Amino acid sequence: MLSYVDNPIGQPDAHVKVIHQEQTNQNLFIILEVNSSSATCPTCRKASSRPHSRYCRRVNDLPFSNLAVQLQIIVRKWFCDNSECESRIFTERLSWLKPYQRRTERLEHALEKIALSTNCLTAEKVCRALYIPVSHDTLLRKVKKLSYEPGHSPFRRY
């Protein structure tokens, strides 16, 4: 069975490898590297096996044992070999992390539940107690961005 440090993203991913981990009094810092031999272009959906460069992404994850978790992910950029594709260079995608996102999917879902359960000022205090660094303004933007279907209220008489 994998521990959190062996598998910080919660689900097995064959191409993600833990390079380094460091624990302080308040934080757990993990460096991950994506070792894939090819990637699929998000624009044209063709596979590419020519790497361009690497860069680091800093991402927050759910807290672990009263520690705020920060991931640093080393991902690759790739050349798109399709001559008709408009993007010549693209970044490999991860199933558990959306492009440009600074939080993992599971942290985003937890923040949505916390923000919808109470007002955003109280939700910020709850998040701080859970070692999740987030402001009440961020939680308010998250609530406003959610779409929902207005339904019939059982409290209205008509």
Distances (CA, A) of 105 to 49, 59, 62, 114: 27, 11, 10, 14
What is the extent of the structural domain holding 120? Answer: 103-146
- Residue 156 domain flag: no
pLDDT single digits (tens) 40-50: 999 999 999 99
Both 36 and 14 in one domain: the answer is yes
Query: Residue 50's beta-bridge partner residues?
Result: none
Residues 77 and 5 placed together within one structural domain of the fold: yes
- pLDDT tens digits, 95-116: 888 888 999 999 999 999 999 8
What's the number of domains the chain is made of? 2
Residue type, position 25, single letter: N
The answer to whether position 124 is within a domain reads: yes
**Which pLDDT score is estimated for 1?**
36
Do the Cβ atoms of 61 and 31 come closer than 8 Å? no
The CB density around residue 101, as the number of other CB atoms within 10 Å, is: 15
| CA 46/CA 43 separation, integer angstroms | 8
pTM given for the model: 0.77
Residues 14 and 34 in one domain: yes
Sorting pLDDT into bands at 50, 70 and 90, what band is 9?
A: low
